[in-house]
Every structure is written in C-alpha cells, then in structure tokens.
Structure 1
C-alpha cells in the first residue's frame, strides 16, 4: 500500500514540474492561439491568388500613463485644497526626471448625499437625502520615454496615496516608416511568388489583368492582456452533504502578443517586453485567359520527367496529317 502511495505521489510531482516548466498558464488550461491575421475579401473574379502576410514588432519610444485620484471633503474649498496637496508635491518631483511631462485632467466634481432619519410619533420612519460634502476626481497624465521610469513614478505617487493606474498607452515615432518597410518587403515576396507560379503553370503574367487588395492592422499592448487563475484544488468525494468554503483565487494578468505562426516574414521577431505590433497583408489576383488549343475546346498539358509543364498544341499537330 505504501509503494502505491509513493508511485501516485511521484506521478503527481512529475506532472506538476512539467506544468511549471511550461508556465502556469498551461497548468490552468490548454492554450490555443487564435488566428489574428487581417481578414481580406478576395476579388470576385480570379484564377490565381498570391497572398503575403507580414508582421513587425516595434518597441515604443514614448509612453503615457494615466492615474486616477479621488478626494472627498465637507466644502468645495476643503476638497480642492486636500487634492492639490496630494498631487502638487509628487508631480513636482516627477517633472525633475528626464523627458517627463505631466497633465492634470478634471474628471468630476459632485456633491455627496447621505440619508438622515426623521423620527415622528405615530408614523413610520422617514429617510431624507441631504448633502454632506463633495467628491473631486482628477486624472493625472504622465508622459515618459523609458519603460523603467514607470516604477519610479508609481513609487512617488504611492507616497501620496495615489495608487490607481488606469492604463498605459504606447507610442512609436517609427510607425509610419515601419509600414512602408512592411509594404516593400511584401512587394518583393509577391514578385517572387509570381515567378514561381509562372514557372509552375508555364505562363507569363506580365500582360494579364491583375487586381490587388491590401490592409494594415495595429495591435497595442493595452488591448493584448489576458487573465487567468493559477491554482490546484483537491477533489472531495463526500458521501454526506457538506458545506464547502473555497478560498478566493488570485487572478493573474499576462501580455499575449500576436503569435507569428501565420506570417511570411516577421520584422524583430523576438519580443522581450510589450510592443506595438503592425500587421500587413496583400492579396493579388491574377486573371488567366482561358485557352482552347483543340477542336473540342480542351487544353492538354504535358508534364515532363523533370517536372516541367508544357501546353500541347494538338490542333496544329492534327493539321499536319
């Protein structure tokens, strides 16, 4: 019996270590990465499609973090004074950092109400809503150039009880140049694929009709975060009804970029930190003319031992007899 218990324990440890080596996300569930490519409609009339998909990963060179701060007070003067004290000192310290800018955005300024109980003889209680103070909300926008600066900014704001980081936006000054680079590389691949098709079918596409459609998509880090719960619970085989109180499970967020498994080429494929991802897709339709080289309207193609494809002009051969 002890041997069986040891074997079961060893199997459990092996499975646990395997999951940890692959990451807690795999321990939670089986992961299937969806197809994140751009969906382009093909032209309505076509014989051959040439499709090229490209992906570029760009590191941001500017960031904007937004923090939310709320203050309450009995009067308008009090609430303004308290909030100004909370944000003035930390913003002064943050502005001393290199290439950092700040902006304070007024969000809301509303009165706060509570219920007062009015007691009357020989009647039910009456609850009257009365104003008891004011609530002021502001958002602090902070622009910085290095991602490592965010830790320092959070530390400074936390000393003044400002904790609510709403979002972080990413920007890149090279985004337009990268779009042009994607288009140039895709153009070369389209031309290469077109030559391969010409060699395959034994035709030239230089003077044939062509149609083209293309498009971009930009994926920002703020929209690429997923969540999961990593935990292991024991199974209870209870013979009698019982109350089971489960503990709250911690939810983890993780950055999930677009996976480069469906692209013809990728610029900067290795991702160490959240990046701006630009997708480009181009589809070229080549309209081939139907050929009729025989009296019965059929076309005959000879495949040589070397794998080459040649059209057989049986009409001319028949006329020679």
Structure 2
C-alpha cells in the first residue's frame, strides 16, 4: 500500500510540475486573441495516393536578418500663409537631416515626400453666435530614410524628437537578394526530397518510372505583419443594490497597458529551420516543395 501511495504522490507532483512549467512558458500572451491561426505549424507527409504516385513534401523555414531598413517619419506645420508654413517646416527638416548626416547616412539615402497642403479653420464667438473663419494653412510632409544599421533607428528617432518630429509612421525591412535566398531554399528542399524518396523506395522495394512532377510555394514574411497585442489584467465590477437603483454614480476606469510582441512563423512542423536561434527580429522565408513520382506497378 505504501508503494502505491508513494507512486501516486510522485505522479501528482510530476503533473503539478508540468502544469506550472507550461504556465511559465506561455507568459502573458495567453491574454491575447488566440483565435488567429496565421502562424499555424506546418505538417509534412510522405504518402502514396491511389493512382500509384509517390508524393514527397519538404518544407523549410529561414530566419534572416535584414540587410537594410526604410523608416518613414511624419511631420506637419501650421502658419498664416503658405509661404511661412513651408519655410517653417523646411527649416525643421533641414536641421534634422543635418543631424542625421552625423550617423553616416548620405543625402541620397533620404527623401522628402510632400503629403498635403490644406486650409485650417477656426471659430470666433460673439455672444451666442459662432462664426467659422479661415485661420491659416497646414502642410504635411514625410521624411523617408534608408539605413543598413539597425542601431541607427533609435538614434534617428532621438534626433527627430529634437525637431518635434514624433510620428514614426513605419519601418520596412528588406534583403538585398531575395532571389539567391529562394534558390538556396529550393536546392536544399530538392535534395531533402530525394532523400525521402530514396528511403521510401528502399524500404518498400519500389521503382520509379518516367519523370517527376513538382510544385513549390515560396513565401516571405515581414515583421510589420507579425506583431500581436494583448492586455493582461483582471478587473472587478460594480454592482448596485436594488434599493439604490436611482442612485447616480460615476465609474472611472483605470488605464490598462496594451502590450505588443513579435510572433513570427512557428518553426514547428518544418523539415529544416535555418537560423533557428536567431533572436533579432528580421524577415522569414518559407519554401514548400512537393515532388510526385510515378511508381512502376509491373514489379
């Protein structure tokens, strides 16, 4: 009886430890929306279908660091006239770009994109009458900067704030030669498909006739589409008693912080993952190759 009791106690603690470990690994992201299945695991199979065709599938995931970044900053300026408005915004832009040059960013690595020029209106109030009047103009422009150094991004943001440029519109990631990455993944997938095919033929003593058919899917995943959000908090409710139904009260909600995190394509289910331990957010590439071989049925 003691032995059975000891085993049950041990099993209980093992299950409890496993449960705690799972909770630690999942983190606060469990508060997010888990309904999305964008980054579902890949499942690869080697099968023979009914018409005597061997179909071999190989999937590869590559995590690649970006070769460069394109940052877009937005700013606006208001003034009584178009000329004054344009002068003021250009002064801010020129001062900012002069500081950016100290980071080694060349003139041809920046571009000013004119966005809009609009009239600005306000109201004058005389007694009970409010009249809309033309107050001036507003000009909006974007500054687009290219850099190869990821550490420049934060420096650029800090320099921009000195000129009251606070709108970081977006940051694009890019690789210089996507074609070579595609070729690399294809060649590796083809070699792995050959290994799978040969293993099957050897195991079941089959032979191939004719030439194979193949199709592939090459996908590129950039960071801007891979971020998710969640809010981790527990809240209570206010309940009024029936005898206080007519009592007016004000409920002020506390501000809840919203968290964002990078959730790239999961490595689960791939035949091979290149740069699996890369911590720097970059660009992900996937290639799935399916090769179909006709089996000799005369044997």
Common fold by TM > 0.5: yes
Provide the C-alpha distance between the structure 2 equivalents of 1:105 and 1:253, rounded to a whole number of angstroms.
29
1:215 aligns with 2:233: no
Secondary structure of the corresponding residue to residue 270 of structure 1: coil
Taking only aligned residues, the RMSD between alpha carbons, in angstroms, comes to 3.4
8 Å CA contact 2:206–2:296 kept in 1: the answer is no
Provide the C-alpha distance between the structure 1 equivalents of 2:164 and 2:77, rounded to a whole number of angstroms.
10
Secondary structure of the corresponding residue to residue 23 of structure 1: helix
Secondary structure of the corresponding residue to residue 70 of structure 1: strand
2:291 corresponds, among 273, 284, 293, to 284
Q: Higher mean Cα deviation, 243-252 or 154-163?
A: 243-252
Q: Deviations over 1:118-169 (max 9, x none)?
A: 88xxxx96x6644221110000111111111111111111011111101101
Q: Higher mean Cα deviation, 110-119 or 266-275?
A: 110-119
Provide the C-alpha distance between the structure 2 equivalents of 1:115 and 1:251, rounded to a whole number of angstroms.
37
Q: CA 1:165/1:238 → structure 2, altered by over 3 Å: closer, same or farther?
A: same
Q: CA 1:237/1:171 → structure 2, altered by over 3 Å: closer, same or farther?
A: same
Provide the C-alpha distance between the structure 2 equivalents of 1:135 and 1:37, rounded to a whole number of angstroms.
51
Q: Which residue of 2 aligns with 1:63?
A: 69
Secondary structure of the corresponding residue to residue 263 of structure 1: coil
Q: TM-score, normalised by structure 1?
A: 0.73
The answer for unaligned runs of 5 or more in structure 1 is 1-14, 292-310, 312-321
1:114 aligns with 2:118: no
Q: Higher mean Cα deviation, 67-76 or 108-117?
A: 108-117
8 Å CA contact 2:77–2:140 kept in 1: the answer is yes
Q: 1:46: how far off?
A: 6.6
Query: Over alpha carbons, which structure has the higher Rg?
Result: 1
Corresponding residue pairs, total: 270
Secondary structure of the corresponding residue to residue 261 of structure 1: coil
Provide the C-alpha distance between the structure 1 equivalents of 2:239 and 2:131, rounded to a whole number of angstroms.
54
The answer for unaligned runs of 5 or more in structure 2 is 1-18
Using CA pairs under 8 Å that are at least 6 residues apart, name the structure with larger relative contact order, 1 or 2. 2
8 Å CA contact 1:37–1:262 kept in 2: the answer is yes
Q: TM-score, normalised by structure 2?
A: 0.78
Q: Which residue of 2 aligns with 1:35?
A: 40
Provide the C-alpha distance between the structure 1 equivalents of 2:43 and 2:77, rounded to a whole number of angstroms.
45
Q: CA 1:186/1:73 → structure 2, altered by over 3 Å: closer, same or farther?
A: same
Q: CA 1:116/1:46 → structure 2, altered by over 3 Å: closer, same or farther?
A: farther
1:92 corresponds, among 78, 90, 98, to 98
Alignment of 1:90-169 (within 5 A): 90-100=96-106, 101-115=109-123, 129-169=132-172
Q: CA 1:196/1:237 → structure 2, altered by over 3 Å: closer, same or farther?
A: farther
1:226 aligns with 2:228: yes
Q: Deviations over 1:41-67 (max 9, x none)?
A: xx9977321000011111012111100
Provide the C-alpha distance between the structure 1 equivalents of 2:21 and 2:140, rounded to a whole number of angstroms.
47
